[in-house]
Amino acid sequence: MSKYVGQRIKRTEDPRLIKGLAHYVDDIRLPDTLHVVFVRSLYAHARINGVDASDALKAPGVVAVYTGKDVAEKIGPVPCASALPDLKVPDYRVLATDKALFVGHPIAAIVATDKYVARDAVDLVSVEYEELPAVVDVEDAAKGGTVIHEKFGHNVAYKLTSGEGDIEAALNSADRIVTQKMIHQRLAPIAMETRGVLARYFPGEEELTIWSSTQIPHLLRTQLALMIGIPENKLRVITPEVGGGFGSKLNVYAEEALLGWISMQLGKPAKWIETRRENFQSTIHGRAQVGTVEIGCKNDGTITGLRYNVFADLGAYHQLLTPAIPTLTGLMLSGAYKIPAIQMNVTGVFTNKMATDAYRGAGRPEATYVVERAMDLVAKELKMDPVELRRKNFPKSDEFPFHTATGLDYDSGNYEAALDKALDLSGYQKLREEQKQVRANGKLIGIGMSSYVEICALGPSQAMPAGGWESATVRIEPTGKVTIMTGASPHGQGQETSFAQIAADELGVDLNDVTVIHGDTAIVQYGIGTFGSRATAVGGTAVLVAIQKLKEKAAKIAAHMLQADSSRLIFEAGRYSLQAATAAGVSEPVVPVGQAPAGALLEPATEGKSSLTIQEIALAAHVAKEIPPDTEPGLSATYFFEPKNFTFPFGTHICVVEIDKETGETKFLRYVAVDDCGKVINPLLVDGQVHGGIVQSIGQALYEEVVYDEQGQLVTGELMDYALPKASQVPWFETDRTETPSPVNPLGVKGVGEAGTIGATPAIVNAIVDALSPYGVKHVDMPVRPEAVWKLISEA
Amino acid sequence: MKQAISINVNGVDHHDEIEPRLLLVHYLRDLLGLTGTHIGCETSICGACTVLLDGQAVKSCTMFAVQADGANITTIEGLAANGQLHPVQEGFWEHHGLQCGYCTPGMIIAATQIIDRNPNPSRDEIRHGLEGNLCRCTGYQHIVEAVEYAAKKAAG
């Protein structure tokens, strides 16, 4: 058994966080910092006939006010990295120029010496609006009416058909077809730390540093360099502590470019910290699909085909991945099942709202919800147990790699094993019997399940807009300390610990001798970032392979120092030993780790030794007196790992709810989750990811919804109006795992960051529908609020 | 018109002249440099800004610093005594009660109050006690375990 990998190791990043000593963007203080506050559109759709900042500029402490006209020619557009056929891409300027297209659209930036002064000055800027009709409903917008971007002539950004197999024939061959319209409501990601940017320009050195709360420091650097027009090697992006992302910080935002540009104009540091209200208005939203599923089945339960026609509410502009998110939905419409023909027809539509983009799960929760709700509808139609219907349509464990009619090849899987474990853990049969009894007493108990598959470890570069690989540099310093630099900069996932676990095991060193550095483009080699449940599968593998490269060199040096052929060396517990001499006594390290004497580095004495620690070799490699003549000094290695496929984690969640007839409230009685994320590096962190993901699913299923009214006003503009799940509203999770290694990477890991948000939502809604089935209810849309349930009961 | 205040924060007396509209959280963060107290919503919903004011957990984002004149305040930075982690801090570390860490200082402060009021809280009582603090990462279960750990530890 490994010393670290697979163990519940508590996190090395925690002490600074629990003591309040960590540094998020707003905790970084630079002298003479100017504060930036934005004037944002009050209207969803309005012509801007003028912006008068003269009063604001007179206010003491106000340094500058920039409007759309000031920057339109200076800063490039907010980028969209999605490439789809005939995609309409609007020109997205960092400040609105002649039209405001959503509530919160930035119109002017106020710069002041104090943040209270800057905020006061917002009220002194007068914007002359001419209100236009707002485009709010996605289906209406697709049909016609008011056009948001006049040059396109309509509001359709793109139409795309995806899938394989003859869908018409497949549906025609079905004994029955079940059709259901489903709404995936618009959600706000709500990282607890809002976005924030601090920019500092040194005019002499011509260097700009941007601290930003982002998931993608390197991609951000590239894009901001292009937007601002500064050489990329003069721009440094630092992501300090990042207080959650969930996809909302997997983007390039107008404010990031503006802050950099403002600091360059004024030669002083400039800071903007997003308010929660701004976060609701102008940080990306997620989901927002309205679709209809048709699923065909034989009378014995065999699924023949699935079609999903969907309108995707894209918002007013494309952010980085906006149009691409629904395509991920299309990829995952086979779910955990053998479905011979699948088709998705998506219409991406502009509306006067904030852009949608990747929110935890990013297109896959929608697919899983569609498939898992559809499976329950089919089970109901055929009067089959939902478990047996699912089991019947699973690919068997020997059918992997399994090709789907969405064009994917699932890497590995054993769906029945996870299902069976979840059935055992929940006591499914007994639950059904109990349900019968309590139903007889008039109680509304529902049992819901979901057998999900997700697509993770994004991904092969061929399938990604800007590279799907990940990088790592591993270096052993002269004192034997290990430094890892990863391009997968985390924001809560715990890579400082999990990557150190991988390294400590591979190098045979103590976990505390390993430091993981991330999130600084001046220090860390180019990387892609943390999103799409990719960090461990892709970034962790890069760490592993970089270490293996480093060890090849270390072995060469060890052989030279021990005057032996490298084939005679074995590496064990951090030590290279001569095979014949392993039992002949182990020597003390010459310079114990952490106790190196002051002054010049000592030359390791190898005389008469039969083994060397890798840390002794690191010292020798730096002193460079005893290394082979054809070997470079130093001991470090860099690896860029390019995965050949995605990974496909899976699992079964089972949920038991009780609905209060009088109030319509849903209460959780049980929640069982069996997830298979391949090999596990740290079970403690995996549990944390699963719990957090399920609670975000509970949020979608029961509470959360971004609401724009008919005028496009954002009704849910604060946490007072947008309900996040509280500690008292969520159940105790009973979790377990099966472990099917992925063949895609040498670690065998698949990824787990989004499993809970993908697998749980349909389990919860299926349970609610099951509870309401005595009233003939077949479907209910999310969020399933008490009043909606109460109405269904009252009207039945 | 600035106003003079005297506040004791984490055992240290501070005397400052401040604007009456300065929020307590900005006073702590910007004037005293105690950036462990975070701002998550500005509407007292999320609890990231929770501090102890004369022993009571309060949300410092919706309170003026002048209202805290004469008070004793404990922030997350003042919780560990003599380099020893507070049992709640220890519990959060042991039970992986945090991921991104942003809600954590407020969560920990709120949790100390739960245990102060009820040395042996049930899981439901812990969850109820944390209703004023939102966490988007953990799903709360590890936080509940962390508080249970701390209650046991504090009870000896």
Question: What pLDDT digit, counting tens, does each position of A122-142 carry?
Answer: 999 999 999 999 999 999 999
- Amino acid A25: pLDDT: 98
Q: Identify all chain A residues contacting B75, using CB atoms and an 8 Å cutoff.
A: 20
Q: Is any Cβ of chain B less than 8 angstroms from the Cβ of A439?
A: no
Which residues 173-202 in chain A show a CB within 8 A of chain B? 190-194
**DSSP labels, A455-470:** -BS---GGGSTT---E
Contact assessment for residue A162 and residue A406, using Cβ atoms and an 8 Å cutoff: yes
Nearest CA in chain B to A729: B127
Nearest CA in chain B to A15: B93
Q: Is any Cβ of chain A less than 8 angstroms from the Cβ of B48?
A: yes
Across B117-143, average pLDDT: 98
- Amino acid A594: pLDDT: 41
Interatomic CA distance for residues B37 and B68, integer angstroms? 16
**DSSP labels, A567-635:** GGEEEETTEEEEGGGTTS--PPPSS-TT-PPSSSPPPPP-TT-SEEEHHHHHHHHHH-SSS-TTS-SS-
Candidates A771, A757, A789, A758; CA nearest to A656 is A771
Q: Is any Cβ of chain B less than 8 angstroms from the Cβ of A730?
A: yes
Q: How many CB pairs under 8 A join A and B?
A: 174
Rounded to 5 degrees, φ, ψ at A398 are -90, 5
Interatomic CA distance for residues A247 and A221, integer angstroms? 18
Q: Identify all chain B residues contacting A694, using CB atoms and an 8 Å cutoff.
A: 139
Give bridge partners of residue A106 from the DSSP assignment: A40
Interatomic CA distance for residues B108 and B86, integer angstroms? 9
CATH 3.30.365.10 fits A469-641, yes or no: yes
> How far, CA to CA in Å, does A509 sit from each of A339, A506, A535, A621, B119?
49, 8, 23, 17, 41
Beta-carbon separation of B136 and A192 below 8 A: yes
Report strand pairing: B3-9 vs B72-74: parallel
Share of chain B above pLDDT 90, in %: 97
Q: Is any Cβ of chain A less than 8 angstroms from the Cβ of B16?
A: no
Q: Do domains A25-132+202-244+249-268 and A286-459+645-795 have the same CATH topology?
A: no
Q: Is any Cβ of chain A less than 8 angstroms from the Cβ of B36?
A: yes
Residue with tokens 């003042």: B78
Dig out the tokens for A509 from the structure.
């060193």
Nearest CA in chain A to B21: A116
Q: Identify all chain B residues contacting A726, using CB atoms and an 8 Å cutoff.
A: 127, 130-131, 134
Class of domain B3-77: alpha beta
Candidates A498, A513, A486; CA nearest to A574 is A513
3-state secondary structure of B92: helix
Dig out the tokens for A664 from the structure.
């319509």
Residue type, A215: Q
Element (H, E) at A305: strand A303-315
Candidates A76, A95, A81, A66; CA nearest to A229 is A76
- pLDDT beneath 70, residues of chain A: 1, 580-607
Candidates A608, A636, A611, A606; CA nearest to A622 is A636
Contact assessment for residue A127 and residue A355, using Cβ atoms and an 8 Å cutoff: no
In chain B, residues under CATH classification 1.10.150.120 are: 87-155
**Dihedral sign, Cα of residue A97, residue A103, residue A106, residue A107:** positive
Q: Is any Cβ of chain B less than 8 angstroms from the Cβ of A720?
A: yes
Residue type, A317: Y
Q: Residue B140 is nearest to which of A18, A21, A695, comparing CB atoms?
A: A695
Q: Residue A21 is nearest to which of B22, B36, B48, comparing CB atoms?
A: B36
CATH level 3 topology of A25-132+202-244+249-268: Aldehyde Oxidoreductase; domain 3 (3.90.1170)
Question: How does DSSP classify residue A681?
Answer: S
- Amino acid A5: pLDDT: 98
Contact assessment for residue A738 and residue A418, using Cβ atoms and an 8 Å cutoff: yes
The 10s digit of each residue's pLDDT in A520-572 is 999 999 999 999 999 999 999 999 999 999 999 999 999 999 999 888 899 99
Interatomic CA distance for residues B59 and B43, integer angstroms? 9
Q: Residue B43 is nearest to which of A691, A719, A727, comparing CB atoms?
A: A719
Interatomic CA distance for residues A525 and A472, integer angstroms? 8
Which residues 24-43 in chain A show a CB within 8 A of chain B? 24, 26-27, 29
Dig out the tokens for A573 from the structure.
């517990």
Q: Identify all chain A residues contacting B34, using CB atoms and an 8 Å cutoff.
A: 20
- Per-chain mean pLDDT for chain B: 97
- Amino acid A547: pLDDT: 98
3-state secondary structure of A213: coil
Interatomic CA distance for residues A89 and A318, integer angstroms? 7
Q: What is the CATH number of domain B87-155?
A: 1.10.150.120
Nearest CA in chain B to A754: B137
Each domain of chain A, given as residue ranges in start order, spans 25-132+202-244+249-268, 286-459+645-795, 469-641
Dig out the tokens for A250 from the structure.
């997997």
Rounded to 5 degrees, φ, ψ at A211 are -90, 125
Q: Residue B139 is nearest to which of A18, A492, A692, comparing CB atoms?
A: A692
Interatomic CA distance for residues A11 and A684, integer angstroms? 9
Q: Identify all chain A residues contacting B141, using CB atoms and an 8 Å cutoff.
A: 691, 730, 732-733
- Amino acid A591: pLDDT: 38
Interatomic CA distance for residues A580 and A573, integer angstroms? 17
Element (H, E) at A35: strand A34-40
Interface test with A, best of B34, B41, B125 (most A CBs within 10 A): B41
Q: Does residue A751 have a cis bond before it (omega within 30 degrees)?
A: no
Interatomic CA distance for residues B82 and A255, integer angstroms? 42
Q: Identify all chain B residues contacting A492, using CB atoms and an 8 Å cutoff.
A: 99-101, 137
Nearest CA in chain B to A684: B96
Q: Is any Cβ of chain B less than 8 angstroms from the Cβ of A119?
A: no
Cα Rg of chain B (Å, integer): 15
Beta-carbon separation of A26 and B35 below 8 A: yes
- Amino acid A604: pLDDT: 58
Contact assessment for residue A673 and residue A681, using Cβ atoms and an 8 Å cutoff: no
Q: Residue B102 is nearest to which of A19, A243, A687, comparing CB atoms?
A: A243
Interatomic CA distance for residues A117 and A166, integer angstroms? 64
CATH level 3 topology of A286-459+645-795: Aldehyde Oxidoreductase; domain 4 (3.30.365)
The 10s digit of each residue's pLDDT in B33-69 is 999 999 999 999 999 999 999 999 999 999 999 999 9
Interatomic CA distance for residues A160 and A156, integer angstroms? 11
- For A119, other C-beta atoms within 10 Å of its C-beta total 14
Dig out the tokens for A243 from the structure.
């207080």
Residue type, A552: E
Beta-carbon separation of A15 and B93 below 8 A: yes
